Structure 1
Amino acid sequence: MARDTTDDRQIENVDQLVAYLAEGSKPRDKWRIGTEHEKFPFYIDGSRPVPYEGSRGIRALLEGMQKTLGWNPIMDDGRIIGLVEPTGQGAISLEPGGQFELSGAPLETIHQTCREGNVHLSQLREIAEPLGIRFLGLGGSPKWTLAETPKMPKSRYDIMTAYMPKVGTKGLDMMYRTCTIQVNLDFSSEADMRRKMRVAQRLQPLSTALFANSPFTDGKVNGMKSWRGDIWRDTDNQRSGLLPFVFSEDFGFADYVEWALDVPMYFIIRDGRYHDCTHVTFRQFMDGALRNEVTNGVPTMGDWANHLSTLFPDVRLKRFIEMRGADGGPWRRICALPAFWVGLLYDENALAAADDLTSGWSFEDVQAMRDAVPEQALKTPVGNHEMRDVAREVLKIARDGLNARAYLNSEGYDEAGFLDPLDEVVARGTTSAEEMVKAFHTRWGGSIEPIFLEQAY
Structure 2
Amino acid sequence: MSAPSRSGGEPIEDRRQLVTYFEQGCKEPADWRLGTEHEKFLFRLDDRSPLPYEGEAGVGAFLEALTRYGWEPLREDGRVVALRMGGCHITLEPGGQLELAGAPLETIHQACAEVHEHLAQVKTVAQTLGVGLIGLGFAPNWRRDEVPWMPKQRYDIMRRYMPTRGDLGLDMMLRTATVQVNLDYASEADMVRKFRVGLALQPVATALFANSPFTEGRPNGFLSYRSQIWTDTDPDRCGMLPWAFESGMGFERYVDYALDVPMYFVHRDGRYIDAAGQSFRDFLDGRLPALPGERPTLGDWDDHLTTIFPEVRLKRFMEMRGADGGPWRRLCALPALWAGLCYDTASLDAAWERVKDWTEEERDTLRREVPRTGLGTPFRGGTVADLARDVLAIARQGLERRDRRDAIGRDESHFLDQLDEIADSGRSQAQVLLDAYEGRWGQRVDPVFDEYAY
TM-score (norm 2): 0.98
CA displacement at 1:73 relative to structure 2? 1.2
Cα separation, 1, equivalents of 2:396 and 2:184: 19
CA displacement at 1:249 relative to structure 2? 3.6
Provide the residue aligned with 1:133 in structure 2. 131
Given that 1:98 and 1:150 are in contact with CA atoms closer than 8 Å, whether structure 2 keeps it comes out as: yes
Provide the residue aligned with 2:80 in structure 1. 80
Given that 1:332 and 1:421 are in contact with CA atoms closer than 8 Å, whether structure 2 keeps it comes out as: no
Q: Deviations over 1:272-327 (max 9, x none)?
A: 1111101312112212222x643773211111000001000000000000000000
Given that 2:286 and 2:293 are in contact with CA atoms closer than 8 Å, whether structure 1 keeps it comes out as: no
Given that 2:24 and 2:316 are in contact with CA atoms closer than 8 Å, whether structure 1 keeps it comes out as: yes
2:336 is aligned with 1:339: yes
Given that 2:172 and 2:226 are in contact with CA atoms closer than 8 Å, whether structure 1 keeps it comes out as: yes
Q: How does 1:213-224 map to 2 (within 5 A)?
A: 213-224=211-222
Cα separation, 1, equivalents of 2:47 and 2:39: 21
Provide the residue aligned with 1:426 in structure 2. 423
Amino acid at match of 1:432: Q
Given that 2:7 and 2:268 are in contact with CA atoms closer than 8 Å, whether structure 1 keeps it comes out as: no
Provide the residue aligned with 2:149 in structure 1. 151
Q: Deviations over 1:116-165 (max 9, x none)?
A: 00000101111111100110110000011000011100000000010000
Given that 2:313 and 2:320 are in contact with CA atoms closer than 8 Å, whether structure 1 keeps it comes out as: yes
2:70 is aligned with 1:70: yes
Cα separation, 2, equivalents of 1:334 and 1:184: 13
| 3-state DSSP of counterpart to 2:331 | helix
CA displacement at 1:4 relative to structure 2? 1.3
Q: Deviations over 1:143-201 (max 9, x none)?
A: 11000011100000000010000001110000000000000000000010010001011
Given that 1:247 and 1:362 are in contact with CA atoms closer than 8 Å, whether structure 2 keeps it comes out as: no
Q: How does 1:39-438 map to 2 (within 5 A)?
A: 39-66=40-67, 68-85=68-85, 87=86, 89-290=87-288, 293-294=290-291, 297-438=294-435
- Which stretch shows the higher mean deviation, 3-12 or 95-104? 3-12
| 3-state DSSP of counterpart to 1:7 | coil
- Which stretch shows the higher mean deviation, 315-324 or 429-438? 429-438
Cα separation, 2, equivalents of 1:269 and 1:248: 34
1:452 pairs, out of 437, 449, 452, with: 449
CA displacement at 1:435 relative to structure 2? 1.1
Cα separation, 2, equivalents of 1:120 and 1:99: 15
Cα separation, 2, equivalents of 1:49 and 1:216: 16
| 3-state DSSP of counterpart to 1:48 | coil
Amino acid at match of 2:429: S
| 3-state DSSP of counterpart to 1:378 | helix
Given that 2:33 and 2:104 are in contact with CA atoms closer than 8 Å, whether structure 1 keeps it comes out as: yes
Given that 2:140 and 2:215 are in contact with CA atoms closer than 8 Å, whether structure 1 keeps it comes out as: yes
Given that 2:180 and 2:323 are in contact with CA atoms closer than 8 Å, whether structure 1 keeps it comes out as: yes
Given that 1:343 and 1:398 are in contact with CA atoms closer than 8 Å, whether structure 2 keeps it comes out as: yes
Given that 2:238 and 2:308 are in contact with CA atoms closer than 8 Å, whether structure 1 keeps it comes out as: yes
Provide the residue aligned with 2:9 in structure 1. 8
Amino acid at match of 1:389: D
CA displacement at 1:381 relative to structure 2? 2.1
CA displacement at 1:436 relative to structure 2? 0.5
Given that 1:332 and 1:418 are in contact with CA atoms closer than 8 Å, whether structure 2 keeps it comes out as: no
Cα separation, 1, equivalents of 2:411 and 2:250: 34
- Which stretch shows the higher mean deviation, 335-344 or 5-14? 5-14
- Which stretch shows the higher mean deviation, 201-210 or 279-288? 279-288
- Which stretch shows the higher mean deviation, 422-431 or 102-111? 422-431
Given that 1:36 and 1:182 are in contact with CA atoms closer than 8 Å, whether structure 2 keeps it comes out as: yes
Cα separation, 1, equivalents of 2:247 and 2:324: 30
Cα separation, 2, equivalents of 1:343 and 1:218: 37
Q: Deviations over 1:241-292 (max 9, x none)?
A: 11112112431000000011011000001111111101312112212222x6
Cα separation, 2, equivalents of 1:122 and 1:378: 33
Given that 2:29 and 2:186 are in contact with CA atoms closer than 8 Å, whether structure 1 keeps it comes out as: yes
Q: Deviations over 1:344-394 (max 9, x none)?
A: 000011000000011111222111110001001011122222111101100
- Which stretch shows the higher mean deviation, 32-41 or 75-84? 75-84
Cα separation, 1, equivalents of 2:231 and 2:112: 31
Cα separation, 2, equivalents of 1:53 and 1:293: 31
CA displacement at 1:30 relative to structure 2? 0.5
Given that 2:286 and 2:292 are in contact with CA atoms closer than 8 Å, whether structure 1 keeps it comes out as: no
CA displacement at 1:236 relative to structure 2? 0.4
Q: Quick one: percent identity of the two aligned structures?
A: 52
| 3-state DSSP of counterpart to 2:172 | helix
| 3-state DSSP of counterpart to 1:147 | helix
Amino acid at match of 2:25: G
Q: Deviations over 1:48-84 (max 9, x none)?
A: 1111000110111100101x22222111122110101
Q: Deviations over 1:82-118 (max 9, x none)?
A: 1011x3x101000000000000011111111111000
Root-mean-square deviation (Å): 1.1
Cα separation, 1, equivalents of 2:319 and 2:223: 23
Cα separation, 2, equivalents of 1:293 and 1:112: 43
TM-score (norm 1): 0.97
Cα separation, 1, equivalents of 2:449 and 2:125: 19
| 3-state DSSP of counterpart to 1:151 | coil
Cα separation, 2, equivalents of 1:27 and 1:254: 21
Provide the residue aligned with 2:23 in structure 1. 22
| 3-state DSSP of counterpart to 1:49 | coil
Cα separation, 2, equivalents of 1:147 and 1:412: 50
Cα separation, 1, equivalents of 2:329 and 2:352: 27
